[in-house]
Chain A
Amino acid sequence: EDQVTQSPEALRLQEGESSSLNCSYTVSGLRGLFWYRQDPGKGPEFLFTLYSAGEEKEKERLKATLTKKESFLHITAPKPEDSATYLCAVGQTFGIGTKLQVIP
């Protein structure tokens, strides 16, 4: 059974304070690890797909990396508009998310 665990559950950052979100997974066969952003009361917004260990992808202040056991979402110099819940998924198994709050 696929399992996805995200940490921390909540993270509060000052604007400009870089940090990383963790997603650890156990799967029978990885066919893609996905990162999404979800705002309150809305559907998730696709951010990245990673397929193999060592792969990295970037988009604005976000950078996702992948190893054989976990993925990190690095947020560089975050802004208040980056506040959201970030979800990690392997296939159709989703983690509970990390709720990020960026304080001005």
Chain B
Amino acid sequence: GAVVSQHPSRVICKSGTSVKIECRSLDFQATTMFWYRQFPKQSLMLMATSNEGSKATYEQGVEKDKFLINHASLTLSTLTVTSAHPEDSSFYICSARASGIRGTYEQYFGPGTRLTVT
């Protein structure tokens, strides 16, 4: 299957600082990328959908000024958590969608980034 990388895998930062997470599709072009967060024993919650060259679409309740998403190319999307606070500590996962035949598609996930804000 297709490979999606995510960097860093773990990051610890102090409250008030900003953190950037990179998501890359390594062997395919992804016109659409997704960002999720996952709390322990909970399911993935979609934060935003990102299309290459366009502004991201944020889910209800997700602050767009706090979670900045840039999808600069068909293989790279970044999520910047600005002025991070301890409640932002979570597991952040990106995903990239690959188009298949006849409108079908498959979605591939990165390995995730564990963010801890102290």
Contacts and interface: CB of A to CB of B under 8 A. Distances in A.
A78 interface: no
B105 to A, nearest CB: 7
Contacts of A32: 104-105
Interface stretch (B38-46, B68-76, B77-85): B38-46
Interface in B71-111: 91, 93-95, 104-111
B1 A43 contact: no
Interface residues of B, number: 25
Interface stretch (A12-20, A65-73, A91-99): A91-99
A87 B107 contact: no
Given A87-B44, A92-B46, A95-B43, A42 B112 contact: yes
Contacts of A43: 4, 6, 93-95, 109-112
Contacts of B46: 92-93
Interface string A71-104: 0000000000000000101001111110000000
Interface of A: 32, 34, 36, 41-46, 49, 51, 87, 89, 92-97
Interface of B: 1, 4, 6, 34, 41-46, 49, 91, 93-95, 104-112, 114
- A-B residue pairs, 9 tightest by C-beta: A43-B109, A94-B43, A92-B46, A96-B43, A94-B44, A43-B112, A44-B109, A43-B93, A43-B111
